[in-house]
């Protein structure tokens, strides 16, 4: 079966099929396409396995991670599934996979998958998870960014034409002392 090649880029989504021209799809289409691709591939290769499907929101990477926590790298997922991940999704996947591998390896439960995916969104659900939460936090407790955008505008820049940074050198007596030596 020839799987579609999917590019997922933060809401700006394009999909190409080797036999068809590029077309635009909604995020729902993409998510369905990727999920279907994953299921077909996984079930054909390992039909006896049960897959722990955890979909917490529409983020494609979360559903992929729930399905494929056996795989060790985002690259492996990409090559295995014929899916091209954008850097944000790949980064999220890698972080989640890294945490899973470090923590409970192949016995990862739904809970640890959830925690792996939500390390930047700490919860206070139960006291029994405190030990694991503390281990994950390791002294740094990042809060979810909540910024209010005052304005936003797309601009075109050419890096080579930008003014370059210059140091602000303050000359004080220290320099003159050195000169006298």
Partner 1 sequence: MMMNDSWYQEVSASERLTQGDIILDCPIAVWMPKPVDLKNDYEETLKSSISVIRSDVVVITQACDLEQGKVSNVTLCPHLPLKEYENEWKKAMNDKTPPQNPSQKAWAKTCDNIKNGYLWNLSMLNEGSAGNLNLTHRVVDFSDVYTLPRIFLESLLQSRGYPRLRLLPPYREHLSQAFARFFMRVGLPTGITQKW
Q: Which is nearer to partner 1, 58 or 120 (CB)?
A: 120
Q: How far is the CB of 89 from partner 1 (least distance, A)?
A: 10
Asked if 142 interacts with partner 1 (CB under 8 A), we say yes
Residue 7 pairs in a beta bridge with 14, 84
Q: Per-residue x/- mask for partner 1, residues 89 to 108, rule CB under 8 A?
A: --x--xx--x----------
Closest among 128, 112, 118 to 52, alpha carbons compared: 112
Radius of gyration of the chain (CA): 23
Pairing mode of beta strands 5-9, 12-17: antiparallel
Q: In whole angstroms, give the CA distance from residue 14 to residue 24.
A: 5
CB 62 within 8 A of CB 117: yes
For residue 93, the minimal CB distance to partner 1 (Å) is 11
Of residues 41 and 94, the one with the C-beta less far from partner 1:
94
Closest contact distance (angstroms) between CB of 168 and partner 1 is: 6
Segment lying near partner 1 (by CB under 8 A), choices 22-30, 36-44, 52-60, 159-167:
159-167
Does residue number 173 form part of the binding site for partner 1 (CB under 8 A)? no
Nearer to partner 1, 2 or 143 (CB): 143
**Does residue 12 bind partner 1 (CB under 8 A)?**
no
DSSP state of 21: E
The Cα–Cα gap between 143 and 121 comes to 7
Q: How far is CA 108 from CA 8, 45, 69, 89, 176, in A?
A: 27, 21, 8, 21, 64
Residues at the interface with partner 1 (CB under 8 A): 86-88, 91, 94-95, 98, 119-120, 138, 140, 142, 145, 150-151, 153, 155, 157, 159-160, 162-171, 175-176, 178-179, 181
């Amino acid at each position: 079966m020839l799987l579609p090649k999917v590019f997922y880029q933060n809401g700006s989504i394009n999909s190409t099929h080797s036999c068809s021209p590029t077309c635009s799809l909604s995020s729902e289409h993409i998510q369905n396409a990727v999920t279907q691709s994953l299921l077909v591939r996984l079930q054909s290769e390992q039909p006896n396995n049960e897959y722990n499907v955890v979909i917490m929101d529409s983020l494609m990477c979360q559903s992929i991670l729930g399905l494929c926590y056996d795989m060790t790298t985002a690259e492996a997922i990409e090559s295995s599934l014929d899916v091209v991940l954008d850097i944000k999704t790949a980064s999220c996947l890698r972080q989640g996979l890294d945490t899973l591998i470090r923590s409970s390896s192949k016995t990862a439960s739904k809970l640890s998958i959830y925690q792996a995916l939500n390390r930047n969104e700490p919860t206070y659900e139960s006291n029994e998870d405190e030990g694991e939460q503390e281990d994950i936090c390791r002294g740094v407790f990042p809060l979810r960014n909540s910024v209010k955008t005052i304005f936003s505008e797309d601009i075109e820049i050419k890096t080579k034409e930008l003014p370059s940074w210059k140091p602000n050198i303050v000359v004080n007596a220290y320099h003159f002392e050195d000169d006298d030596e």
